[in-house]
């Protein structure tokens, strides 16, 4: 299903977390399994210049995401679910970058999960109302890093990947148990 099994039979999963944005698109790859220490594989931020046409910026994001998918071969992709904010120009750019991320993953047949910001905050910090600093501090702690990943888009991408490993792994176990017992949801 996902990645190779570990010695104890747990399933290792490699997830590319994407914090979509037109100016800054966070990318973070995390590997691990539920209940085991997680490992940072890589993290970065794709940047595009606001003085370039939107279509050109989206092509830059697409190429960057494709390169990461090629290089890191994730088992799944976790993307922040776009939600309404007060600034409609921000929503549009985020939604466009999110769509590009989903298309890149779908072309490869990869599972795609959308996680809301509050789901991610709750998963990594225990509170759906955590601020950026709290999320960043928990990402640093969970991945046993020496320093906080910067900018915040990088930490957010890692938080998305962590959330998916923890939630996706748990969901995979539930699905497997239901399949063993012939149950359906």
Q: Which of 70, 153, 156, 175 is catalytic?
A: 153
**118-153 confidence digits (pLDDT tens):** 999 999 999 999 999 999 999 999 999 999 999 999
Domains of the chain with CATH codes: 13-179 (3.30.420.10)
Question: Which pLDDT belongs to residue 121?
Answer: 95
Question: In the annotation, is 56 catalytic?
Answer: no
Contacts of 47 (CB under 8 A, 6+ apart): 23, 24, 25
Q: In the structure encoding, which two tokens stand for residue 90, read together?
A: 């921000």
Question: In the annotation, is 31 catalytic?
Answer: no
Helix, strand, coil shares of the chain as percentages rounded to 5? 50, 20, 35
Assess contact for 141 and 124: CB atoms under 8 A.
no
Question: In the annotation, is 19 catalytic?
Answer: yes
Question: Which pLDDT belongs to residue 181?
Answer: 75
Residue 75 annotated as part of some ligand binding site: no
Residue 19 annotated as part of some ligand binding site: yes
Q: Which of 10, 19, 75, 175 is catalytic?
A: 19
CB burial class (10 A; 0-12, 13-18, 19+) of residue 139? buried
Model pTM? Answer: 0.87
Alpha-carbon gap, residue 59 to 64, rounded angstroms: 8
**150-168 confidence digits (pLDDT tens):** 999 999 999 999 999 998 7
Better-predicted residue by pLDDT, 47 or 89: 47
Q: In the structure encoding, which two tokens stand for residue 12, read together?
A: 């290792």
Contacts of 77 (CB under 8 A, 6+ apart): 15, 16, 17, 18, 69, 101, 102, 104, 105, 110, 111, 112, 113
């Amino acid at each position: 299903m996902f990645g190779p099994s570990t010695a104890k039979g747990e399933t290792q999963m490699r997830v590319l977390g994407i914090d979509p944005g037109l100016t800054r698109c966070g990318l973070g790859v995390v590997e691990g399994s539920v209940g085991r220490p997680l490992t940072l594989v890589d993290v970065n931020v794709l940047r595009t210049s606001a003085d370039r046409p939107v279509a050109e910026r989206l092509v830059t994001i697409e190429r960057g995401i494709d390169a990461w998918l090629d290089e890191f071969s994730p088992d799944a992709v976790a993307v922040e679910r776009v939600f309404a904010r007060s600034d409609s120009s921000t929503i549009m750019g985020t939604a466009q970058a999110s769509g590009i991320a989903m298309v890149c993953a779908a072309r490869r047949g990869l599972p795609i999960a959308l996680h809301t910001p509050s789901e991610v905050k709750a998963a990594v910090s225990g509170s759906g109302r955590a601020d950026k600093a709290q999320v960043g501090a928990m990402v640093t702690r969970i991945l046993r890093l020496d320093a906080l990943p910067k900018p915040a888009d990088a930490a957010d991408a890692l938080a998305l990947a962590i959330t998916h490993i923890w939630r996706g792994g748990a969901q995979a176990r539930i699905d497997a148990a239901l399949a063993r017992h012939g149950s359906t949801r």
